[in-house]
A and B are shown apart, each in its own frame.
Chain A
Amino acid sequence: MIRRHLPVLVTLAVFIVGYLICLAQFPSFASTRVIGNLLTDNAFLGIVAVGMTFVILSGGIDLSVGSVIAFTGVFLAVAIEKYGLNPYLAFILILGIAALFGAGMGLLIHTFQIPAFIVTLAGMFLARGLCFVLTTDSIPINAAAYGQITDIAFQLPGGGRLSFIAIVMLVTFVLGIVLAHFTRFGANVYALGGNRTSAELMGVPVGKTTIRIYMLSSFLAALAGIVFSFYTSAGYSLAATGVELDTIAAVVIGGTLLTGGYGTIIGTLVGVLIQGLIQTYITFEGTLSSWWTKIAIGGLLFAFIVLQRGLSAASLRSR
């Protein structure tokens, strides 16, 4: 029982220890303001990471999410500012487009048995390229709706605020947990990651599930893109480069096995928060370059992959 949850527990322990270190150095880490900002700043990352967790749990990978986030931003900026589209309509449109995009990738992966890596790599270039077709400039979004949405926030005791986009992220996580652990779809995702052939023999609808997984991932990437556009109030073709890798890192640090089949959504939330924590620490520190975030994440990633290897080796031995 303990061993089964060990990766998540280790992740949680790392987060707590990290938080205590930060707290010891900068007492203001206890303030709700810092915590609120931590959630807000990492909202888009968290939302994509939920989708990515499903993908990785199923034994796949989705490299296109960063590009989809950028495309969403550019699409919204062009649709709202250039064509005067209602922002809410634009949101629905882009979510639909992204879902179709993901379904297409899933279909390719399943029908032609192409590795997800290749298909989503193609998807990554395609979505990024489409950004430049729409515009090469950074377009600011000044729609009134944006102001209204970003103003929505819960005041937390102590001066912090839980912003709307932080709430969107937390709700996404709750829905993700329900989907992963309490539905047939969730069980099918784990089954796929456990052993695709066995899953198929056992009657798991492999094709349908694969398509839905990538559909969900692209849909959530678009949602993250919308959230990101609230955050930056602009659409820019070069935005969110490398986010797919940050996301994969968050998922793996969150205790999900890169080979699929094992992991949790809640672990991913902690993985995202650890990344945010390091970023915040470096901001507080002031003298360190922000690239130290990447170095710290790199080190953690190594440590977690070694831990996972060790654990699976140990569980094989114990059998």
Chain B
Amino acid sequence: MQPSREQPQLLEIRGLTKGFPGVQALAHVDFTLHAGEIHGLLGENGAGKSTLIKVLTGVFRRDAGTIRLDGEEISARDPADALSLGIGTVYQEVNLLPNLSVAENLFIGRQPHHFGFVRTGEMRRQATELLAGYGLDIDVANPLGTYSVAVQQIVAIARAVDLSAKVLILDEPTASLDAQEVETLFGILKSLKSRGIGIVFVTHFLDQVYAVCDRITVLRNGRLVGSRPISKLPRIELVSMMLGRELAAEALHRNQRPTVTGEPLVAFENYGKRRLLEPFDLAVRPGEVVGLAGLLGSGRTETAKLVFGIERADSGQAFVDGRPVRIATPRDAARLRFGFTPEDRKTEGIVAELSVRENIILALQAQRGWLRLLPKRRQDEIADHFIKLLDIRTPDAEKPIGLLSGGNQQKALLARWLATEPRFLILDEPTRGIDVGAHAEIIRLIERLCEEGLALLVISSELEEVASYSDRVVVLRDRRHVRELSGAEVSADTIMTTIAGH
């Protein structure tokens, strides 16, 4: 398939630049979409995919660059305007109205009518006909919300295409679909492609990229890394484009530690949740660091959420000290002396307005219950202890934590859980968004904690980093734990080839 030769250019983006205060979200990005092409847009967190889409659909204004659709320069004011220009977008969270009927969702704003009276019968007939074209035979009079996400997505696609979309943007449409539903969706994409519609497909699932895309564009840190036909892009190269590293010739030096033996502190058998993560086995021993590596959306954070009870597993069994336990809520996990520092510090971790002291004692206080308030003196002791221990740089413990640097916030979060004297600690991207110096400190801290006999599960996108401190690394791909690396196998290169698969 080489649509670029026969098909005209449908959408042409040149030199697109968009900055936010402190961040260059997009820098001189070029992107070309041909008619009748499925074009995968890939990149890790902060690559600029969603900014690109939002600029394209008029959610954000661009700072510089041109966007041409069918040779005409366009500049969408808002998503509705983009739609009328011919650019339709379907999001993972379907942006339709679950309380209205399927037919109304397809035709709202343009219902067949007589003097304002909707011709409901006619509308339903047209809706049924429209959906039949997508192989969907459902009662269009029922509310949309009664159907599965997959059906809702097809309805959203049908609506966007019917509104004369020339370009269809699918933003992670498959994230909550099962394999069967993904197949159906791909069938639809292929038939739309044969009708000459240009499709931009954003996803994290490599298998799906190779199953359906004609061409791939990879962004990283707001820059274009490359754009190539799928036939000329082996998986390993795609992964290295996304992660921004070449396969190193020599293995990187690794902190050699004696292999940890003994009974696992925590173990999970056949643990999983439908649509979230395939069942996995995982065991962590005291004094051991297990790394979780994989691309964004591969199931790393999902693993952490299952383990910590934020998501409830629907299969398998968890064990602590060899005894079966139930972890249905984060409270259960905290009671078992698990700790968890989430990926998104700002929204899920720190309470920016509260002081460093209050943030540090938060988990400990919650564990005691709000009625048994920690004495102020004890609070001060704990806060001071950890500020010194972790070298949290703050003038004093009463400073609002929001005013600290990212690295120091991260340390305070760690302190919050360490104060509860956990036995098992889960760190999700502990080094994201903090400066290089603090980075090294956090890593040293991880190593020290594990020497003290803590069991650690660490998620990181930095392959060298995860390889350097982990005893074992579990590699994830497409919501599956695909392989566990241990001993000499633990290296950034092996992780990368395992992520790429094949």
By a beta-carbon cutoff of 8 Å, the part of chain A in contact with chain B is 1, 4, 182-188, 190-191, 193-195, 197-205, 261-262, 315, 319
By a beta-carbon cutoff of 8 Å, the part of chain B in contact with chain A is 79-80, 83, 95-100, 104-105, 108-111, 113, 116-118, 120, 142-143, 145-146, 148, 159
Query: B108 to A202, Cβ gap below 8 A?
Result: yes
CA distance A198 to B159 in the complex (A): 13
Known: A4-B143, A184-B111, A203-B108. A191 touches B80 (CB 8 A): no
Distance from A197 Cβ to chain B, minimum over Cβ atoms (Å): 8
Known: A190-B100, A193-B99. A204 touches B108 (CB 8 A): yes
Of the candidates A4, A183, A315, which one forms a contact with B117 in the assembled complex, judged by CB atoms under 8 Å apart? A183
Query: A194 to B116, Cβ gap below 8 A?
Result: no
Chain A residues with CB under 8 A of B98: 194-195
Distance from B52 Cβ to chain A, minimum over Cβ atoms (Å): 19
Known: A182-B120, A185-B116, A315-B145. A261 touches B99 (CB 8 A): yes
Of the candidates B79, B100, B113, B117, which one forms a contact with A191 in the assembled complex, judged by CB atoms under 8 Å apart? B100
Known: A191-B100, A262-B99. A201 touches B79 (CB 8 A): yes
Known: A195-B97, A198-B97, A201-B95. A184 touches B118 (CB 8 A): yes
CA distance A198 to B118 in the complex (A): 21
Query: B99 to A190, Cβ gap below 8 A?
Result: yes
Of the candidates B83, B110, B118, which one forms a contact with A183 in the assembled complex, judged by CB atoms under 8 Å apart? B118
Chain A residues with CB under 8 A of B96: 198, 202
Query: A188 to B108, Cβ gap below 8 A?
Result: yes
Residue in A184, A187, A193, A198 whose Cβ sees the most chain B Cβ within 10 Å: A187
Distance from B140 Cβ to chain A, minimum over Cβ atoms (Å): 14
Chain B residues with CB under 8 A of A186: 118
Between A and B, 12 residue pairs with Cβ closer than 8 Å are A182-B117, A183-B117, A184-B116, A187-B100, A190-B99, A190-B100, A195-B98, A198-B95, A199-B97, A261-B97, A261-B99, A319-B145
CB-nearest residue of chain A to B57: A201
Chain A residues with CB under 8 A of B118: 182-184, 186-187
CA distance A203 to B110 in the complex (A): 9
Distance from A41 Cβ to chain B, minimum over Cβ atoms (Å): 33
Chain B residues with CB under 8 A of A194: 97-100
Query: B113 to A184, Cβ gap below 8 A?
Result: yes
Extra A-B contacts (20), CB below 8 Å, given A182-B120, A194-B100, A261-B99: A4-B146, A184-B118, A187-B100, A187-B111, A187-B118, A190-B97, A190-B100, A190-B104, A191-B104, A194-B97, A194-B99, A199-B108, A200-B80, A201-B79, A202-B108, A203-B110, A261-B97, A262-B99, A319-B145, A319-B146
CA distance A304 to B210 in the complex (A): 52
Distance from B170 Cβ to chain A, minimum over Cβ atoms (Å): 16
CB-nearest residue of chain B to A197: B95
Chain B residues with CB under 8 A of A204: 108-109
CA distance A182 to B116 in the complex (A): 9
Chain B residues with CB under 8 A of A201: 79-80, 95
Chain A residues with CB under 8 A of B113: 183-184
CB-nearest residue of chain B to A200: B80
Chain B residues with CB under 8 A of A205: 109
Chain A residues with CB under 8 A of B83: 203
Distance from A180 Cβ to chain B, minimum over Cβ atoms (Å): 11
CA distance A197 to B97 in the complex (A): 10
Chain B residues with CB under 8 A of A4: 142-143, 146
